[in-house]
Amino acid sequence: MVKAEKTAISPTRQEDYSEWYQQVIKASELADRSPVRGCMIIKPWGYALWENIVWVLDAMFKDTGVKNAYFPLFIPLSFLEKEAEHVEGFAKECAVVTHHRLEKGMDGGLVPAGSLAEPLVVRPTSETIIGDAFANWISSYRDLPLLINQWANVVRWEMRTRIFLRTSEFLWQEGHTAHATEQEAIERTRMMLDVYTRLAEEYLAIPVIQGRKSAAERFPGAVDTLCIEAMMQDRKALQAGTSHFLGQNFAKASGIKFQSAQETEQFAWTTSWGVSTRLIGGIIMTHGDDNGIIVPPKVAPSHVVLMPIIRKPEDRGKVIDYVNHLAAQLRQQQFSHQNIRVETDDRDIGGARGWEWIKKGIPIRVEIGPKDMEKNAVFVGRRDRPPKEKESIPRNRFVAEIGMMLEDIQNNLFERAKIFQKDHTCDIDNQKNFYDFFTPKSSDTTEIHGGFARSHWCGSEKCESKIKEDLSVSIRNIPFTTEKSESGSCICCGKKSDCRVIFAKAY
């Protein structure tokens, strides 16, 4: 019997994927639990990862003409009451402020005092308050299109939380646009989904499937919701970005009107779109292994860590000098239009030092000792390869090829994830096979099973609800590539269907 190799993370993904996820976050120092139930503290390594995602995405937005602004955290209750369907979708998750000060109570503790004239909802999303601003800013077709984004936090009072994936407070961006024509708004909705797809695939190395939500899964109040869906290593789906065509619904609720070129008063056509710190959870679950997170180089907080090996006190000065000079050389190199980010770790903690960086997922680890210096070389480990797989590389070659090495790691992560998604996506046309696909083969609740089933659906909400009730499986999206593409029979009722949709269990 072959003895299993010891891993840095316990349990492993196969043993208990959910607990593995929690342990990876802890070991990689991405985030910590907060004293406030359901909230998280994002630690420097995790926040640097988020900052890099923000940096990339913000530039993409601005390339399409979007400008940043900021809107209040507090939304008057009356604003939400203007859009009934929208409010109904978020009502159970809203945190509400009802008082404006604290006073000392009879027992010496603090109690709320000073009731507000109108309760304020802590922002769950900003369509209503941004709609109010748009109504004031827009009067003529010459004011359109109005393209606004804000980077902010939002609060949705979740009962069951998981760091990065679903927390009561999280960070995100929300874009809001207003247009003179329906077609222009529809095109903007699709454009922003393409931006999210580029972020996911080119930067996060996460392959995604583009499509539209079913009516039951749409954003509350939207006419159409487009999304990208990714497969995690437990074969569940993660919604990695959404873009909503809101029609004129929010414009009518908020009074966003404009004078057309024909001098008639019309309501604007609006969109909204967003991604959040949930993407960090997606990176963990797409690329992580049983030794920790693996961070795609294009968004990594740092690209390389230099670890001097000093066994004799008299070697320290010359080794540190060598390392500092190498760090300066590397920082002058570029990868993905940015300077190489270098960490130097000279702590004397033995092998634990290397394992810490493995768990944090830094793309490249470099060890440098007197013997390496004699050969003018470096000893290199890549995070996309096993921890023990290291090689000695001439220093000059390493400096010259650092960008290509990082590009290779980036591409390897994407190809690996793409193969995994393909291997666990299948066409299923038989109902028994469909139910078997999503049913564990044993009573072990941690067993990994399922994946993406491309199956026919008649369009009935009744069939959609039955599958969800029976299997906890939902329609993730109707892929653009399969819309009206082929005829078949609904996997639930057997009635005629003209397209396949993606069914999966989801986060």
| pLDDT value at residue 342 | 98
The domain boundary residue, chosen from 356, 391, 421: 421
Q: Rounded to 10 degrees, what is the CA torsion of 201, 387, 23, 152?
A: -30
Q: Which band of pLDDT confidence, cut at 50, 70 and 90, is reported for residue 3?
A: low
Distance CA 61, CA 149 (A): 8
Note whether 248 and 265 are within 8 A (CB). Answer: no
The tokens for 287 are: 């690329």
* DSSP labels, 92-151: GG-EEEEEEEEEE-TTSSEEEEEEEEEEEEE-S--HHHHHHHHHHH--BGGG--EEEEEE
Q: What is the CATH number of the domain that holds 345?
A: 3.40.50.800
Q: Sheet containing 74-76: which strands, arranged edge to edge?
A: 74-76, 110-122, 95-104
The tokens for 304 are: 């390389």
- Tell me: do 158 and 262 sit in the same domain: yes
186 within domain boundaries: yes
388 within domain boundaries: yes
| pLDDT value at residue 373 | 97
What is the b/e burial string over 73-104, where b = at least 16 CB atoms within 10 angstroms of the residue's CB? bebbbebbebbeebbebbeeebeeeeeeeeee
- Tell me: do 239 and 346 sit in the same domain: no
- Tell me: do 60 and 172 sit in the same domain: yes
* DSSP labels, 354-411: HHHHHHHT-SEEEEE-HHHHHTTEEEEEETTS-TT-EEEEEHHHHHHHHHHHHHHHHH
Q: For residue 21, how far is the Cα from the chain centroid?
A: 15
CA distance to 99, 160, 392, 476, per residue, from 240 (Å): 36, 19, 39, 11
User: 6-59: per-residue pLDDT in tens?
Assistant: 899 999 999 999 999 999 999 999 999 999 989 999 999 999 999 999 999 999
Distance CA 142, CA 259 (A): 9
Question: Does pLDDT of 4 surpass 80?
Answer: no
- Tell me: do 250 and 348 sit in the same domain: no
The domain boundary residue, chosen from 244, 267, 287: 287
**Type of residue at 375:** K
What percentage of the chain has pLDDT greater than the value 70? Answer: 99
Q: What is the DSSP letter of 412?
A: H
Residues whose CB is less than 8 angstroms from the CB of residue 314 and which lie 6 or more positions away in sequence, other chains included:
none
201 within domain boundaries: yes
> Rounded to the nearest 5 degrees, what angle is found at the Cα of 248, between the Cα atoms of 247 and 250?
105
Quick one: CA dihedral 280, 281, 286, 292, positive or negative? positive
| pLDDT value at residue 28 | 97
- From the number of C-beta atoms within 10 Å of its C-beta (0-12, 13-18, 19+), residue 209 rates as buried
- Tell me: do 415 and 373 sit in the same domain: yes
User: 195-250: per-residue pLDDT in tens?
Assistant: 999 999 999 999 999 999 999 999 999 999 999 999 999 999 999 999 999 999 99
- Tell me: do 208 and 271 sit in the same domain: yes
Tell me the mean pLDDT in the region 246-259: 96
Alpha carbons within 13 angstroms on the beta-carbon side of residue 101 total: 5
User: 26-41: per-residue pLDDT in tens?
Assistant: 999 999 999 998 999 9
- Tell me: do 357 and 218 sit in the same domain: no
Question: Does pLDDT of 2 surpass 50?
Answer: no
| pLDDT value at residue 125 | 94
| Helices and strands (H, E) in the chain, number of each type | 14, 27
Question: Does pLDDT of 484 surpass 70?
Answer: no
Quick one: CA dihedral 314, 315, 319, 320, positive or negative? negative
115 within domain boundaries: no
90 within domain boundaries: no
Q: What phi and psi, each to the nearest 5 degrees, are found at residue 346?
A: -105, 20
Tell me the mean pLDDT in the region 248-265: 96
- Tell me: do 30 and 153 sit in the same domain: yes
- Tell me: do 267 and 312 sit in the same domain: no
Q: What is the CATH number of the domain that holds 456?
A: 3.30.110.30
Question: Does pLDDT of 1 surpass 70?
Answer: no
Q: What phi and psi, each to the nearest 5 degrees, are found at residue 469?
A: -70, -40
363 within domain boundaries: yes
Q: Which band of pLDDT confidence, cut at 50, 70 and 90, is reported for residue 158?
A: confident
Q: What is the CATH number of the domain that holds 48?
A: 3.30.930.10
Nearest to 383 by CA among 310, 277, 283, 309: 283
Cis omega (within 30 of 0) for bond into 11: yes
The domain boundary residue, chosen from 421, 445, 471: 421
Question: Does pLDDT of 112 surpass 70?
Answer: yes
The tokens for 69 are: 């602004």
The number of folded domains in the chain is 3
| pLDDT value at residue 279 | 98
- From the number of C-beta atoms within 10 Å of its C-beta (0-12, 13-18, 19+), residue 491 rates as buried
225 within domain boundaries: yes
Tell me the mean pLDDT in the region 412-438: 98
N residues, the chain: 507
- Tell me: do 475 and 489 sit in the same domain: yes
User: 467-477: per-residue pLDDT in tens?
Assistant: 999 999 999 99
CA distance to 141, 404, 489, per residue, from 401 (Å): 53, 5, 54
**Type of residue at 68:** N
- Tell me: do 266 and 163 sit in the same domain: yes
Range of the domain at 415: 299-421
| pLDDT value at residue 447 | 87
- Tell me: do 57 and 206 sit in the same domain: yes
Nearest to 164 by CA among 264, 53, 249: 53
**Type of residue at 337:** H
User: 120-153: per-residue pLDDT in tens?
Assistant: 999 999 999 999 999 999 999 999 999 999 999 9
6 within domain boundaries: no
Tell me the mean pLDDT in the region 3-7: 72
Tell me the mean pLDDT in the region 247-275: 97
Tell me the mean pLDDT in the region 397-405: 98
